[in-house]
Amino acid sequence: MNDYPMLIDGARVAGEDGHFDVVNPATGEAFAQCTAGSLAQLDQAVQAAQRAFSLWRYSSHAERSECLRRIASDIEGEAEALARLIVAEQGKPLSLAMGEVMGGVAWTRYAAEQEIPVQVIEENASQRVELHYKPLGVVASITPWNWPFMIAIWHIMPALRAGNCVISKPSSLTPLSTIRLVEIIARHVPKGVINVITGERGFGSAISSHTGIHKIVFTGSTATGQRVMQAAAGNLKRLTLELGGNDAAIVLPGTSVEAVVEDIFQAAFLNMGQTCAALKRLYVHESQAAAFAEALAVIARRQVVGDGLQADVTFGPVQNIEQLELVAELVADACVNGGRVVCGGERLERPGYFFPPTIVTGVSDGHRLVDEEQFGPVLPVIAYRDVEDVLRRANDSDMALGGSVWGSDVVAAEALASRLESGVAWVNCHAQIHPHTPFGGSKMSGFGVEFGLEGLLEFTGQQLLYVRKHQAV
């Protein structure tokens, strides 16, 4: 069984707390072991990053950009091996895993070409005032299990581009592709600039409270994000928190089913529904709710569920047993309370954590399947009568990551989308993100943004440079 070490101060090191298994969700069996680091080793990684920062912070923008270009080329050269590793630990089909890796290449290349501006606030004969952006220091990246490679890219690349050093802590469920990514990065930066630590428990709170860490970028659940925020107060760490989402989509009356149903299905079941910004609540006018549910079910039934490495598979497993059990529990609760399963609805009788794409009708606000983030392959189709009422219902959630409105009247759809209480609002699409467009949530879905100039500047601190010019005598 392959063993995966950590990387601290440029060296591959074994953990001081033994090993833990990494399970393939398509089989339910361990296929690799990962080393379990100690809190003392976290301290070592932080100290290494601090030492490296004393020089890396003064590296030029051109030097950092060139490092990222070389990293992107190496990732692209190893794309298939990385994608297969993602499939083994996360479960998604190989084509989707390849998309994750190549998306990481694109994001890295975008970060490489980003400019960090110097803003001239005032310039006259007597004085010049400039706003500069400078690196923060040691940044900790804490990543989840759903997009383990891509989200690590999102965290690490802008941090490096801005001149910070990084401690990466991947999910213990999917650590392997992140370890490999860090090893690739380490080829091109001075030792200590990038480090990765792995373990099953205890690191999150230790990272959050560590006084040698100056910023945390965290993607994960709202509850964990709250604990990170509380623990980070000790040294007023900067935070970027991208937390849970229960994204609503509203289909306006008279919308063509055929025109939008495929896009709606893909937005809801992206990565088997295991995406923070996936479409999770579908509100359809009562005149079309049944037609939309059946059209979605037709697409769901033609999915080939199985091991992501098999050539014909389009739909992989749920990543872990706990999430599988939650999905099954929410569907069962819906059925007990009047919901109807149109397709799917039960765990498949086979090894691994397989749950087919499932469409449920007969549920509404107040049902757990609607009110809670299912984060899995289930979509409730919820009938509504009045547009103003459904807008209120869509907004009546503590979570506010994204939302969308669908309809043939784009002007009306845009007007309604602008009233969604969400960090991002889409019209006739959902979960569209790009490296140049800022992305972030509101309410209990977190704060701070990723991507674009705004996301890059989240990894910097401001310094105002005030220059009084010499006066001629």
- pLDDT number for residue 186: 98
Q: Is 358 helix (H, G, I), strand (E, B) or coil?
A: strand
pLDDT tens string 68-105: 999 999 999 999 999 999 999 999 999 999 999 999 99
**Mean pLDDT, range 220-240, rounded to an integer:** 95
Count the residues in the chain: 473
pLDDT tens string 428-463: 999 999 999 999 999 999 999 999 999 999 999 999
> Using only C-alpha atoms, what is the Rg of the chain?
23
Q: Distance between CA 167 and CA 192 in Å, rounded? A: 9
Q: Distance between CA 317 and CA 252 in Å, rounded? A: 32
Q: Distance between CA 464 and CA 395 in Å, rounded? A: 39
Q: Could you give the domains of the chain? A: 2-243+445-464 (3.40.605.10), 247-427 (3.40.309.10)
**Mean pLDDT, range 353-366, rounded to an integer:** 98
Beta bridge partners of 384: 285
What does the block give as tokens for 174? Answer: 């999917």
C-alpha 119 chain-centroid distance: 31
Backbone phi, psi, residue 419, to 5°? -100, 0
Q: Which residues are catalytic?
A: 242, 276
Strand 194-196 relative to strand 165-169, pairing: parallel
Strand 127-135 relative to strand 460-468, pairing: antiparallel
- The alpha carbon torsion through 131, 132, 135, 141 (nearest 10 deg) reads 50
CB contact set of 203 (below 8 Å; sequence gap of 6+)? 37, 39, 42, 169, 197
Q: Is 155 helix (H, G, I), strand (E, B) or coil?
A: helix
Whether 472 shows a pLDDT value over 70: the answer reads no
What separation in angstroms does the CA of 234 have from each of 39, 42, 90, 159, 210? 18, 18, 34, 22, 8
Unique residue bearing structure tokens 């019209």: 427
DSSP-derived secondary structure letter, 233 = G
Average pLDDT, rounded, for the chain = 97
Q: Is 384 helix (H, G, I), strand (E, B) or coil?
A: strand
Q: Distance between CA 429 and CA 270 in Å, rounded? A: 13
Strand 279-285 relative to strand 378-384, pairing: parallel
SS (H, E, C) 15-76: CCCCEEEEEECCCCEEEEEEECCCHHHHHHHHHHHHHHHHHHCCCCHHHHHHHHHHHHHHHH
- pLDDT number for residue 431: 95
pLDDT tens string 301-352: 999 999 999 999 999 999 999 999 999 999 999 999 999 999 999 999 999 9
Whether 473 shows a pLDDT value over 60: the answer reads no
